Every structure is written in structure tokens, then in C-alpha cells.
Structure 1
């Protein structure tokens, strides 16, 4: 729009300039006015663009804040209110308005009378009358109704059956995502109400900014309490709910059924204060479990779902604060489950030493039965394991067989790790040599001469340990020739032949071959050797012929002339100075 307006203004200016000659005063004023309008439009466009950018940034900030964890609207979790975890307990279920029942009479006459509890708490039974069942359990109401009905149906059998549960209204408040009033049934427990209200408020519901802000102000991060929930009934009585204990013990007394008009309050708790922890040989290590006065060692072990099979029968270790800052260690018997705990106690359950340790090794490669074999660590020999594996095959190469100690392999070399981060050109000569040798090294390899059984059978250092890998290599029957030869590749191995024989078999040297730097790389160790120093090649070895470095002879000649000229200049200057000094 602004571009169109500016275009029209410039067209009008051009039209004013079209007549050749002396401009009139009116035309000059019009031209000045049009130019002024053009700049005003430009300024207005810049202001509107800047304002729109600010609005976009504000919208982005608003949208980012809208999509934070805190501002995501909670969606209460819908559950099937008619689903029952177990049959209704008539001694615990309280009848109330809306409950539907059937009074059945058998005898002289058979009849089923559908009934419903009236809003004022009565059952109206034809031919029997009004019977109050207010604040009565199902068992109490059944006894009362049958007793009244028997007066009318003397010789008949009378039963009262609950057919449909009424819906009740309960309130939940405190540390939940969506506190409010919800519809439930009396077959639901307190734990069923929590997901209906969106779940508990936890640290996960806070944004990163809120956590950082509270940390800076050294404010404690609070979460919902699972162990201090209170339920207030209409009659003014209270019940304390301990869901943490209920989940670990399944004691339903700790998670009661809801009643109409109940008010459930979820308090908050401070994380890492007034808590208990248990570690070690337990099925689930627990940290910062909420402490409740009266907690015992057995309760904490239940929170961890019990000890594991490798838990030591010896004393447990309990760390407790004697005062504000000084901890003390207390030894407790695992059998003393009634030992009373205090806030911030930490319990460590020791494991049995070497309990069911599974020492085993892997045997791979050219053996008859590759696989995993059990060993007695530090006692089982290589020969024993090879015999268990059925011995080596005809294609096995003992010279290239390796024993890898994986437990050593996991130990890192800080110096080697440091050198990995440094460019090779920036290394010193010693660092470069160390880096090259470590790069060629087989990590965790145990030095064993497998071609000489007597050697490794008498050395304690080669007794097998847990998780060793014994890899019996396959015969290669070849020598690899690579680098500057006419036909690089594999050449059939022949004993008692020197490296030049295999180079000839590979077509001989190329013109760019650097013959004096020929190397032999041992298959068994990866060591690089000068070819002239190798007395005997082994199958699987590699012969490497490097390429001559490219040289710019003109540049070398030019550099030589420059250096020669500089040397001559120094010599001449020295002679002149010497002669003048005489």
C-alpha cells in the first residue's frame, strides 16, 4: 500500500517537471509539498513496521509463556466410576440418597421390589413403610430392613441387594493440578480422586525459570505430600491417608473409600527435608521419602519393596544427625524391623561379598564349540578353556590368536585421550610417537605366545579372569601387499620367503615407490617394522610401500640460490669489515 502511494507521488513529480521552461511559484510549492508527503509516508511506514515487529516479539513471548508447563491447561483424568477393584464390603459401604436396591421376597408369594434411597435418607417399601437408612452401612441397613419386612412377610425369606451405586460429590484441594468439586462413587478410594483432579503438583510441573528463581532465592522446592493427606467427613471426623504406605503394603485402611461431602486436602512437603532414604541391596533404592512420626525400619524397607537376595545378614548401617551438622553411624540388625526412625535418616543395606558371582569368559573364532564358559577366576587356564571349547580347528592360527581383558580395556588412558584432542602437527615428537603406538595397540590385549603352550601355562598373569575374550584367529595363508606396487592386494603365503618376493608377486615397485621406507606390519601385534630387519614373514602380515614425497625442484633450486646469496653476502661483509679493521 505504501509502495503504491509513493509510486503515485513520484509519478506526479515527474509530471510537474515535464514542461520545459521557467517553473512558476505554484509548481515549486507543489513539488516541495509532494516531496514532504513522500518522506512523511516513509517515516510512517518505518514506525508501523517497528510497532508490528514489537507486537510479533510480544506475541512470541506470550506464546512461549502460554506453552510453559505451568500454563498448560490441566485435563482431569476420566476414570470408569462403575469399575470395582473388589466386591462391595457391606460393613464399609454407607448408604445414601440415590443408592438403588432390590428387596426380594420368596415364599407364599415371590416378588422383587425395586427401591431407592430418598434424598432425606429413607427407603419407602410398599406394604412395609418408610425405613431410615441414613448414615447406616449396607450391612446395618440390610439387617434393619429385613427385620421390618419380616413383620409383614412372616413365613417368607427376605433379602436386600444393592444394585446400583449412587454418585456423590467430593472436594479436593491443596497441591493438585485442578482442585475443585468432583463427582464420584462410594466404591472409589482417595487415590482415585487424585488423577481426576489432574494429578499431584510436583517439581516436574515447574518451569526451568521458576526452579532457577527459587534456587537463587534459596527457597525450598515443594511437592505434594503423599503421606499426610487428610479427609474431612460431613460428621466432622477426620481420617489421615498415607498413600506411600498403601502402595507398598496394600493396606486398604491407609486409602479409605470416599463418602458424600468429603473434603480431601493434599498438603505440601519440602523436598530433601524431613525425609528418609535407603540404598544398597534393596529392590528399589529410595531417596527423600517423606518422613512421618512413628516410621520404623520395616516401613522404609517396605517403601523399597524389600531387600534383594544378596542382602547381607549382617548389621545395616544407619546414618543419623546427632545435632544440626554432626552425623553418626549406627549399626542395626536387619531383623530389628521395629527400630524407630528419625527425620533425615539414611539406611545402607550391605550386599553379601561375592554372592553368586558369575565368572565367565567368551571363546570365539576357530574352536569347535564357540560360546560362553564358566571359570574359576585366577585359576582356570587357557588350555582348560580351549579343551572345554572342543579344541582348535584345522584352520586356526595360534600365532594370531588374542586374549582381550575387557576389565582392563575399560580403564581409560588420560594422556591418550588428551592427545586425541590435539592436531598431530602441534604434538611434540615424543607425543606423536606415543600417540602412534597407542593408536596401533589392541586395547586390553594380554601378551601371550599361543604358539608355545609351555610358556603361557606357567605364567600366573595369563590365568583367565571374568569377562575375558579368547579369540582364536583363522589362518589367512596370505600376505597383504599395499602401497606403491603395480597390483596391490593379497599374495599367497609361502614360508621362508622375504618381503621382496611378495612385492615381485604383486607386480613390483612403481616409479613413485619409496623403496627404502618399506614396512612390515605384523598381523599378530600390529607392530610396524623396517622390512630389511624382518628375518621371517608370518602369514597375515602386511607389506606397505610408501610413496615418494612430491618435490618442487625449481622451488628448491630457488631457495638454494637465495640461501647461497645470503651466505655469500655475510661472507663478503665479514671480509670487508675484517680488512677495514686492519
Structure 2
């Protein structure tokens, strides 16, 4: 007998097909058998890969709580999408004298000779636009106004006494690179009207360590420094320039040794990156101005030396309109302290907003006025109010943990295991900072244990009843599904069309809309799905997919080889008989 045995170690998908093709040339092995083996191989691969579990990461937040955390990738995607949608919106009309045309700009050209003729033309990649019957016009590095003049001259060479009108129909889009302290570095799509702050938003926003004052545009090898603080503080547009195609936007990290500090009677006390030209007046503007109890006649400026020792104390005054008399330049490490009026009376109040009849501010007696009374003064809830999702926020509890702030400044790769665990746990706590646990349904049914005493600056928010459960991830039809009491997570997945391709079954997550807590969906004893919750179905990681694919190919190839050997033996026996 002439039996050929193929070593399993050298059999892979392509080799198996070769061997099967060779066998198919033998009369003993029908063609239908070869085709059957190939079909079985691919079905086996698909079944094996689909059945593999995933060891990938958990979903990093669904965005149901609306909180921004370092792990909330869905929020950064939403922010990027909104920024992209707004990129076609203009803050003001385009100035034809300043707007430079470039490839893919779309123009509308209206010619009036014997009768009106309208052309829609696009600037070509080489900077030229072509008008039928007129020819090509080079508009590279030309403003819209200059280009209109060139077009008029070109048309006048063809037609007698023409009337020409040119307008920008659609701005071009181009790519800009974003690097540095942003959530997602890489390329983003922009237009000539897109500003640096929008580019940062398109990259998912600045990271916690980013400095708004240390931004650079790298353009044709030149570095253009950008200080966004004047834009964020008082809307100074020149401080937030637009970008061009091929720009690289670099967001720097805040240097803790290059700061100036302001505290006391200002709206936003804190640390700011020092830049050349900073003064007492600019720092107060960056802190959003004085508070109502600020003593504007007693502004203390403390100047320090290189090692932090106080070398000088100065006192300045401000005019009634906030202008600093004898404004001083600041240097690295300088501190500004605005004294506050002693025993200055600030009326205590809370804010009620959302689904109440009369939202707004309400005066209270701290530690005496209670929650139900304020709800009643606000006219009670509307019919669309979701009492299950209503919250009481105590702003005084929203304080930055110094240890959390310290760890946040450390590169993740350099944190100790203890620091990493502390940072992770604290992040979960900070998803809903300052929120007090209140059951508003029990509150309105006269349960006094829920009728908490209020404090100054408390905030009561009553959201609109959502009436749906959000299903996202690897399902066929992701979206909002109408809430049905007693439905399980698999019911909602079924309503969303079932699992999609490469869904990681068994790793589904349920995210509570009210608390932000995340549960493994299979642990149904730990939670109950309510209106406003979210269900996330992750995708198998790419590494697991290809690992499963390779394993499946090997297994099916070996099975196909065994079948070929057995058939060869049977055919040989038949021939010998």
C-alpha cells in the first residue's frame, strides 16, 4: 500500500487546502469530499471563535451618570462627536479677506451674462479650481476676496461685461495631530474655523495633568505658543486661534514648580501655571474676579525667592470697578491673597432644578429648613418627574482628597500597587461626589427619616423620567429600549436584536443609572434593572479572537488530515481487493 501521512505539526489552513487539492486529483477521492472538508473547516473556525470567552478589560463607563472620570471612554467619545458636529457651525461670518482657500473648499460661482449660470466647484488638491468654459484658476494661499478678484478677471477674458459673485459653500476638512496631555492622542478632523480648544475636545478633552497655559501649535516646523486661560476666563478669542491642515497641537503638562497661587475672596482660588507677563490683575481675572465679601482695599502679594522663602510682602488696592492700583508683575512662586470681610452676611439658600413646577433659588434657615418644605415651596413635582432618580447634592462635601491629587500627578506606569488601588477606588467614589442618599418616594409619603435638614448651597435635582433602558455595545440594534418591570438583562438584549458578531457573552455589564454602580449581568441577585439603567455588551478582544482563530484552524486542519488518511486507507484496501 502507498499511504501518505501528513505530519500534524506542519498542517495549517493553506497547506490543508493544497493537500486536499492533490488528493482530489486522485479518482478515489471525490470532489464533493474536498469541498465538504473546506466548508467544515470554516464552520469549525467560526464556531470555535464564537465560543471563546474573553479576558479583556471591563467596560470603562457607559456615561449614564454624566460624570467625567479617567476611565470614562464613552464620555470622551460623546464629547468628540459633539465637537465634530459643531465643527460645521460658525461663531461668526467668515471674513473673505482673512479666509484662505485650500484643497476641497467648495465654492458657488454665479455668472450673469445673457442669463444667470451657477457653478459648484471644488478647489483641487493642487490649489486650482476649474470653471467650465473659463479654465483653471490658481487660488493657492489666496484669500476668498483675492480669489474672487482672480475669478472675475478670468471670466472677463471670456465673456463681455459679466457679473460675477463668489461665495464659500462649504469649508474644507483636514487632519490635525493632537499629542501630549489629552485623553486620546492621534489625528482629528478639523476645518479652518476650528479653534485649539475644540481640537482638544475632539481628542476627548484635556487630561487631569494638562496645563491650559502650556499649549503649542507646531506648524511647518515653527512653534506657536498658545495660552488658553484668557479664553476660558473671559472669552478672549485671539487667545484661542484657529488651526490649519497639517498642524500639530501639543498640550503640555502642568509643572508644579512653575506656578502662581491666589486664595481668599475670589471666585476660583487655586494654582495657575505661570507665564511671562502675568500680573496681579490677570491672576484675579483668571480666578473669575472678586467675591461679594472680598476686601478690595486689602490685596496682599507675597513674593518668594528661589527656595520658597518670603522676601517681600506688598499690599495693593482695587478701584470700585475692579481695576488694580499699582498693578505688579508676578514671578514663579508668588502668592496673592484677597482678604474677606469679617462676619459678612451671605443669605443661605438652596437651588431646586429639574422637574419641579417652579425651579430656582430658595432661602433657608441652615440646619432647620427641611427637604420636603423646599420641594413644596417649589410647587411640587411635575408629572414627568423621576423621583427614583432625584438627588440631593451637598456641595460642601465635594472636596479634593490631597492624597488623590498627589497620585493623580504621578504617571500611571510609575505608581505603586497601593497607589494604583487607592486611585481606582477613589475614582469610583468621585463619580457621584457630594450626593446624599434620599428616597424621594418615601419622602413624599411622609417618611420623616428621609426629610433631611438642608444646608447653605445644597442643590436638589429632579430629572425627567426616562422610561427606557440603554443597551449598547455588541448587539445588533443598540439604543434605548422601553423599560418593562421584571425584565431581565437578556430580555433587553433580545429586544435589541440579540448579540452581535464577536460579542463577549458572559461578560455583560449592568450599570445603574442612579448610582453609577456596575454589576456583572449574570449576578442577577445583586441588582434589579430599573428605568434609566444601562446594559453593556463588550466585544471580544482582538488578541483572543485571533488566538481562537489560529487554534481553530489547527484543530480543523488536523481533523481534515485524519479524514484524508482514513479515506486513503479505505481506497487502498478497495483497490487491493
TM range (shorter): 0.3 to 0.5
- Normalized against structure 2, the TM-score is what? 0.44
- Normalized against structure 1, the TM-score is what? 0.44
Structure with the greater alpha carbon radius of gyration: 1
